[in-house]
Amino acid sequence: MKAEIIAVGTELLLGQIVNSNAQFLSVELAALGIDVYFQTVVGDNLNRLQQAIEIAQSRADVILFTGGIGPTEDDLTKDGLAAALGRNLHIDTPAMEHVQRFFDERKIFMTENNRKQALMVDGTTPLPNEVGLAVGLAHAHEGKFYIVLPGPPREMKPMFTDKAKPWLLQHALTHEMPIYSRMLKFAGIGESLLEDKLIDLIRNQTDPTIAPYAKEGEVTVRISTKAPSEQEAAEKLNALEEQIREILPEHMYANIDIPLEKLLVDRMVNASLTLSAAESCTGGLLMETLTSIPGSSSMFLGGIVCYSNEMKMKLLNVPEALLEGKDAPGAVSREVAEVLAEQARLIADSDFGLSVTGVAGPGSSERKPVGLVYIGIAERGQETEVFELNLRGTRDNIRLRTVKALLYRLWRRLEQR
Amino acid sequence: MKAEIIAVGTELLLGQIVNSNAQFLSVELAALGIDVYFQTVVGDNLNRLQQAIEIAQSRADVILFTGGIGPTEDDLTKDGLAAALGRNLHIDTPAMEHVQRFFDERKIFMTENNRKQALMVDGTTPLPNEVGLAVGLAHAHEGKFYIVLPGPPREMKPMFTDKAKPWLLQHALTHEMPIYSRMLKFAGIGESLLEDKLIDLIRNQTDPTIAPYAKEGEVTVRISTKAPSEQEAAEKLNALEEQIREILPEHMYANIDIPLEKLLVDRMVNASLTLSAAESCTGGLLMETLTSIPGSSSMFLGGIVCYSNEMKMKLLNVPEALLEGKDAPGAVSREVAEVLAEQARLIADSDFGLSVTGVAGPGSSERKPVGLVYIGIAERGQETEVFELNLRGTRDNIRLRTVKALLYRLWRRLEQR
C-alpha cells in the first residue's frame, strides 16, 4: 500500500518552519507497513492544492494531509479535498459545539471565522481534535483513503495516533497483518560499531526486520514483525531482542523508547538515591539534561559549574598543586576529575557525585588537545571511577557526547549495584 | 519566477531524517525573490524520480535537487536529470581529481564506486564541492534552470551559497534587481505584541518589505528591498530600521543575525566584565546557554545549580528563615532571588551575578503556580534588580523563556551602563 503526505501551508514554502509532520507520519506509516512514496508541500492556494491532490490520486492509495484546517481565509485543505471528491462542505454539529465550548469556558467572544474549524466534507468521518479546535477527517472513496490532520504538531500527533491510525487499521489495512514494533535503546556505542556487531543479524533479517537509527550520541534499533496477534508478535520480537542483548549486553539499556536520562532519573527516584555534580567544560549541560526530566528534583540536589580554576579551588577544594605549576596535572586531568566528583558528592551529601573536566574547543587549553575530557563518578562508600574520553567534532558535539558518555557510565554503575 | 525543491532520498520517506534542506533553500530563494510553489520528496527510485522531474518541469522555472549524488548504487539524481534532459553522463576530470586527492591524502584505497561522485550530465556546469566529495551542477535549458546539490546540509549549504546562488543571480535573475535583506533581532517581547506595535508599518509595507519570524522566546524581523546597488538598498533599509528602532527602542538588540547570548558574551569579553550565576528551576540551562558560545570562558567564571533548599543554604548562604517556616517567603520568592544573585556574584567575585528561582512544573511547589519565576541581577557596587515572570507552557518552555528573559534583562542592564 502506497502513501503520499501532502503538507499544506505557505509558511513551509517560505522556510519559516520545517516539515517535521512529514517525518513523524513517515515513521508511523512505515511502522504500519505502508510505503510512503512521495511527500509534497503546497501553499495556501486552492488551484495548486487541487493539482497536488490530482497528482497524489494518480500515484498513491493513502493520502494524508496536514495543515490548512484552521480558522483563517487561507485555510483551504477541506475546500480542496471537497472539490477533488465532488462534494460539498457542511458544519459538523459536535465539532461546532466543541469550538463553541472552548470560547464559552474562557468567556471570550467567538469570532465568526472560528466556525470554519468545524467544517466537514459531506459524507466523511470526523476525527475529533482533543488538543485544539479544528476537526480532522477520514474517508474511503474508490479504493483510496484520505486523512486530513491539523498542522500544529501538538494537535496532529495525538489525532493521528488516537484517531487516524485506528481508522486506517480498520478500513485500509483490514487484509494485512498488523505490524508490531519494538524500540531497543543503546548507549555507550556508536552506530557503525553497533552495526558491525549486528551485521550478521542485519544481513540475514527477514522476519522480524532490524533497522538501526542514530542520533547524536545514541543509537536506537527498531525491530518489527507482522503477525496475526500481539502474542505471536511478542514471541518473535522477544527471541530477536534476546539475541541482540546477548551480543551487546553492556549497551542495551531499554526495550521501550525512553531517553537514558529519564531512565536514570526514574530509577534513582525509585531507589531513593541522590545525585550532585561538578561540571567544567560542559558548562551546565549535564545538570540541565537531568533536570529537564520531570521529577528530577527528588534525586538531583544540585551542583557547581566550575569554569575558572578559582571556582574549582574555592567551591570544590581542588588543591592548587593539582591545577598550577610546571609539573601539575592541570585542570583537565584524571586527578582533578576525581576530586571534583568526590567533592560534589560531599558538598551535597548525595549518594553519587558526577564530574566533567575537559577541552570542548574550539581552542585548546593547557596545551591539551580539543576533545580530551575526563569524567568521574563518586559513590558513597565506594571507589571513585574516572574515564578518559577522546572526542571529535565541534564544541557542541563534544559537550553533548561527554554528557551522553557520563550518563552511560552512571547507568553501568547502577546496573552493577 | 517559480521554483520547486526536489529532495531525493528514501531516508526522508522513512522519516529517518527531517527535510531541513527544503527549509534552508526556501528561505534563501525567498530572499532572492524566487517563489517556492512546491517542495517534493521522492525516494531513491529512477522511475518515480523521473515522474517527479516531469511534474516539476510543468509547474516551475527553477528546479533544485538535494541528495542522491553520493557514491552508492542508490544515488540516482544525476541519472534522473540526464534522462529528463535526454543527455548522457560523463566523469568530470577536475571533480575526479578532487575525489582522488581526498583518498590519496588520507592514504586510503579508493573503491571504484567513488568515481560516481565525479559524474556530470553532459553539457552542464559543475558546482565544486569544497566540503565533501560529490560534485553538484547547474544548467539552463529551454527557459528552465536546474541546480543539483548534495544531501548532507554541511555540504549543501556552502555549495548553494558560494556556487549555486551566484550562478542563479547571473543566469536566472539577470533581468531582476537583486534583493537585499537585513535581520533585526528582538528580545523581551513576544511575536504578537511586536506585530501589534509594528502593525501600521506592516500594513503599509511596499518597499522595503517587513516579515516577522518567531522562535521560542525570540523574534526576528527581516526587512528586504530590491535595488540596483547595495548602497541604494542600504539607504532604504537604514531608514526603515530607524523607524522600527524608534518604535521598539528597548527590544531591538541587533541588526545582524546573532543570538542574544553571543552578543552578551562578546560584549562582556570586550569590556573585561565577568559573570557568575545561581540557578534553581532552570537546572543549568542558563549557564549551558552562555557556555555554548566559544570564548565564554573569559567572562563566565562559574556558578551553582541549587536545586534543593539545603544547597541554597549551604552554598549560597540563603537564610533558613527565608526558606522554611509558616510565614517565610519560600524558595520561589523575590527575596531568595535577590540573595542568590548577590551570593553568586560574591562567591565568584564577578562583576555580575545572575539568579533564577521558580516553578517550572509540571507539578507546583510551595503552593505556588507553575510558571511563577523570579530572576535577579546583581552588579558590583549597584543595587540588585529582581523581576517576576508569569510564564505559560510546558516545563521546557518555561525553562527556556526564563533564560531568554534573564539574558534580555542583562542586555538592558549593559545598555544602561
What phi-psi label fits residue A342: left (phi over 0), alpha (psi between -120 and 50 degrees) or beta? alpha
Of B14, B39, B362, the CB nearest to A12: B39
What angle is formed at CA A379 by the lines to CA A373 and CA A383, rounded to 5 degrees?
A: 80
Mutate to test the interface with B, among A307, A310, A311, A312 (most CBs of B within 10 A): A307
Q: Given B14, B37, B304, which is nearest A13 (Cβ)?
A: B37
Kindly list the distances between the CA atom of residue B322 and the CA atoms of A249, A396, B307, in Å, as whole numbers in the listed order. 49, 38, 16
Q: Nearest C-alpha of chain B: how many angstroms from A112?
A: 21
Q: Are B3 and B64 within 8 A, CB to CB?
A: yes
CA distance B259 to chain A (A): 15
Tell me whether residues B18 and A15 touch, CB distance under 8 A: no
Planar angle of CA A222, A288, A275, nearest 5 degrees = 95
CB contact (8 A) between residue A39 and residue B19:
yes
Please say whether the beta carbons of A114 and A99 come within 8 A: yes
Q: Does the domain made of A179-254 have the CATH classification 3.40.50.2000?
A: no
Domain boundaries, chain A: 2-171, 179-254, 260-415
Cis peptide bond upstream of A208, omega within 30 = yes
B104-142 confidence digits (pLDDT tens): 988 888 888 899 999 999 999 999 999 899 999 999 999
Chain B neighbors of A35, CB-CB under 8 A:
13
CB contact under 8 A, B15 and A30: yes
* CB contacts, 8 Å: B16 with chain A: 27, 213
Which amino acid appears at position B226 of this protein?
Answer: K
Q: B308, B314, B317, B354: best mutation site toward chain A, by most A Cβ within 10 Å?
A: B308
A406, three cell numbers: 557520563
Amino acid symbol at B49: L
In sequence order, the 6+-apart residues with CB closer than 8 A to the CB of B223 are: B181, B182, B184, B208, B209, B210, B211, B237, B240, B241, B244
The answer, yes or no, to whether ipTM is higher than 0.85 is: no
Residue-level pLDDT at B216: 64
- In chain A, residues with a C-beta closer than 8 Å to the C-beta of B304 are 302-305, 315
Contact criterion met (CB < 8 Å) for A38 and B38: no
Is residue A324 within 8 Å of A308, Cβ to Cβ? no
Q: List CB contacts (< 8 A) between A30 and chain B.
A: 14-15
Cβ <8 Å between A38 and B42: yes
Which residues of chain A register pLDDT less than 70? 214-217
Residue A284 CA to residue B226 CA, distance in Å, equals: 45
Question: Looking up cell 555549495, which residue turns up?
Answer: B159
Residues of B in contact with A347 (CB under 8 A): 314-315
**Regions of chain B where pLDDT drops below 50:** none
Q: Which residue type occupies B18? A: V
| pLDDT per residue as tens digits for the range A15-52 | 888 999 999 999 999 888 899 999 999 999 999 999 99
- Return the CATH number of the domain spanning residue range B260-416: 3.90.950.20
* E strand or H helix at B353: strand B352-358
Q: Check if the beta carbon of residue B374 is closer than 8 Å to that of residue B386.
A: yes
Please state the separation of Cα A40 from the chain's center in Å. Answer: 23
**A2-171 under CATH 3.40.980.10, yes or no:** yes
- Which residues of chain A does B291 touch, with a Cβ-Cβ cutoff of 8 Å? 282-285, 305, 307
Give residue B210's pLDDT: 87
pLDDT of A111 reads 84
Tell me, letter by letter, the H, E, C secondary structure of chain A. CEEEEEEECHHHHCCCCCCHHHHHHHHHHHHCCCEEEEEEEECCCHHHHHHHHHHHHHHCCEEEEECCCCCCCCCCHHHHHHHHHCCCEEECHHHHHHHHHHHHHCCCCCCHHHHHHHEEECCCEEECCCCCCCCEEEEEECCEEEEEECCCHHHHHHHHHHHHHHHHHHHCCCCCCCEEEEEEEECCCCHHHHHHHCHHHHHCCCCCEEEEEEECCEEEEEEEEECCCHHHHHHHHHHHHHHHHHHCCCCEEECCCCCHHHHHHHHHHHCCCCEEEEECCCCCHHHHHHHCCCCHHHCEEEEEEECCHHHHHHHHCCCHHHHCCCCCCCCCCHHHHHHHHHHHHHHHCCCEEEEEEECCCCCCECCECCCEEEEEEEECCCCCEEEEEECCCCHHHHHHHHHHHHHHHHHHHHHCC
Query: What is the residue whose three cell numbers read 552588579?
Result: B379
Whether B396 and A39 lie within 8 Å, measured CB to CB: no
Multiple choice CATH, A260-415, 3.90.950.20, 3.60.150.10, 3.40.1260.10, 1.10.8.60: 3.90.950.20
**Option in B28, B291, B365 nearest A283 (CB):** B291
Closest chain A residue by Cα to residue B12: A23
Q: How far is A221 from chain B (nearest CA, A)?
A: 12
Of the residues B34, B40, B41, the best mutation for testing chain A's interface (the one with the most A CB atoms within 10 Å of its CB) is B41
Q: Which of A12, A16, A281 to mutate to test the interface with B (most CBs of B within 10 A)?
A: A16
